[in-house]
Amino acid sequence: MIYWAPLLHFYQPPTQSHAVLAKICEESYRPLIKVFKEHPESRVTVNMCGVLTEMLADHGYSDIIAGLGELGESGQVEFVESSKFHAILPLIPKEEVKRQIELNRVTNLSFFKNSYKPRGFFLPEMCYSDEAASIVRGMGYEWVIVSGIACQGEWPMDYIPSFKLGSRLMKAFFRDDIISNMISFKNINAAGFASRIKELSGGKEDTYIVTAMDAETFGHHIHDWEKIFLAGLYEIIKNSDEIRAVGISSLLERFPAAKTRPPRPSSWSTTNEEILAGNYYPLWNTPHNNVHRLQWEHMDMCMEIFQDAEAKKDNEKSEQFFNTARETLDMALHSCQFWWANKGRMWSENLINKGLILQEETIFNSYLAVLSSDCRVSEKKRCYNKVIAARHIAGKLRDEILSK
C-alpha cells in the first residue's frame, strides 16, 4: 500500500483586505470543504494559522471554520500547530517563538474545540532550524514537516526519521518537493500523480509520500484545481487497493522510526546552493538584499524599545500602552512583509510598507508606555533616542523602496 499524506497550509496575513479574503474564500476555501465532504474517504492534514481563523470569524466566514471543524470531528482533517501570525520562527527571539505558538493554540482551540488536537507542527514557510524545532518539541509536539531539500540521509519512504534535539527525540516528515511543486504549478494531473507515486514506491510492500502546498493553490491560484486534481484523485483512489489518503500522524503508527541526522536549516523555497552558502531563508532575510537588511534593523530596534516598555510599565496608563504594543508586535512579526521585498521575484511596495507601519505602531505605543511610567527622565530620554534611530531606519527603508 502507498500511503499519500497531503498537507494544506491555510494562511492570510493580518494586513489582508476584506475584498481579497472574500475572493479566496469563494474560490478556494469553500470549494475545498465541499470536495472533502463529497469524498468521505479523503484525508488531509491542515495547518490553519490562527490569524486566519480569527479573520474568517470577523469577516463573516464562520461557515468555513465550522466546515473544517466538522471534518476534524469526522477524522477527515488532522490539524497541526503553527505560529499564529506566520512569523519566520528561526529569525525571531525564543520568547516570541513560544508566544506565537501559544497564541495559535489558544486561538484555534477556541474555534475548533475538540477537533483541534495537533500532534505535529508546521514551521511557517517550512523554515527549519534546530533551535526552533527544540522549542516546538519542548512544547509537546511530536513531529515537524520540512522541505525535502533539508533531508541529510536516505530518502524516507518506509521509515520515519527520528533525531535528537537536546535530551528529546523529534520526528520529521519530508515534503516531496518535486511532486508538490508539480501539483502547485499544474504540471501533473490526478492520473499522472497516481502513476508517479506507484513508480516511486519501487514495488515495496508499504511506502508513503508527503505532499504540502498552500491551500489557496486549489481554486484561487489555479481555477477549479480542487475539482480537477483533488476530487479527481480521490475518485481514482476511492476503491484502490494500492493508494490510500491518510493524515500525517497516522504514519507514525504504520512505519518504524529510524535514527537520522537532523534536517538542514532551510525553507521550502531554499535551493541547495543557498544552503551551502549559509543563506537558509533567502526570501525573508538574504545578505545581499538591502531592503531585508533595513527591515530587520528596524525590527531589532522595535524589539529593543518594546523590551524597554516591558521592563518599565508600572502603572495603569503605562500598562495600557504596553498592551497595545504587545498586540501590535504579534502582528508585526508576520512574514509577508519580507517575502514581498524581493525585487525581480516578489515585490510590493504597499505590503512592505504595511509591515513597517505595524512595527512603527509597536514602537509608538512602547515609547508611550515608557513615557507614562514612573521611570527616571534620563531613561525616558534614552528610550526616545532609540525612537529617533528607528525613525531614521524607517526613512532609509522607504527611500530604498521608492528608489527601486
Written as nine digits, the cell of 26 is 469563494
173/251 same-domain check:
yes
| 320-343 mean pLDDT | 98
Q: Is the pLDDT of residue 70 over 70?
A: yes
Looking at every residue in the chain, the average pLDDT score rounds to 97
252/338 same-domain check:
no
Written as nine digits, the cell of 378 is 534620563
| 62-86 mean pLDDT | 98
Written as nine digits, the cell of 375 is 521611570
pLDDT of residue 404: 64
255/294 same-domain check:
no
Chain centroid to CA 144: 12
CB 331 within 8 A of CB 358: yes
Written as nine digits, the cell of 124 is 511557517
| Structural domain boundaries enclosing 224 | 2-276
| 299-303 mean pLDDT | 98
Coil, helix or strand for 200?
helix
Q: Is the pLDDT of residue 344 over 90?
A: no
| 241-266 mean pLDDT | 97
210/244 same-domain check:
yes
158/86 same-domain check:
yes
391/261 same-domain check:
no
Distance, in Å, from the CA atom of 26 to the CA atom of 366, rounded to the nearest integer, reads 39
Q: Is the pLDDT of residue 64 over 70?
A: yes
Distance, in Å, from the CA atom of 377 to the CA atom of 394, rounded to the nearest integer, reads 26
CB 104 within 8 A of CB 50: yes
65/42 same-domain check:
yes
In a domain, 281, yes or no: no
In a domain, 285, yes or no: no
Binning pLDDT at 50, 70 and 90, where does residue 202 land?
Answer: confident
Last residue of a domain, one of 276, 304, 327: 276
301/253 same-domain check:
no
Written as nine digits, the cell of 289 is 538584499
128/266 same-domain check:
yes
- pLDDT, one tens digit per residue, over 310-325 is 999 999 999 999 999 9
Strand pairing of 243-245 and 77-80? Answer: unpaired
Q: Is the pLDDT of residue 14 over 90?
A: yes
349/231 same-domain check:
no
Last residue of a domain, one of 276, 298, 317: 276
b/e burial code for range 307-329 (CB count within 10 A of at least 16 → b): ebbeebbeeeebeebbebbbebb
Distance, in Å, from the CA atom of 251 to the CA atom of 356, rounded to the nearest integer, reads 42
Domain count, the chain: 2
In a domain, 282, yes or no: no
Distance, in Å, from the CA atom of 24 to the CA atom of 19, rounded to the nearest integer, reads 9
Distance, in Å, from the CA atom of 231 to the CA atom of 228, rounded to the nearest integer, reads 6
Binning pLDDT at 50, 70 and 90, where does residue 203 land?
Answer: confident
pLDDT of residue 199: 94
In a domain, 284, yes or no: no
270/312 same-domain check:
no
pTM (predicted TM-score): 0.97
CB 313 within 8 A of CB 357: no
Last residue of a domain, one of 242, 276, 310: 276
Cα 29 to Cα 34, 60, 93, 105, 131, distances in angstroms: 9, 13, 33, 21, 33
Coil, helix or strand for 49?
coil
CATH of the domain at 34: 3.20.110.20
Distance, in Å, from the CA atom of 126 to the CA atom of 113, rounded to the nearest integer, reads 26
Nearest Cα neighbor of 172 from 210, 125, 207 is 210
157/121 same-domain check:
yes
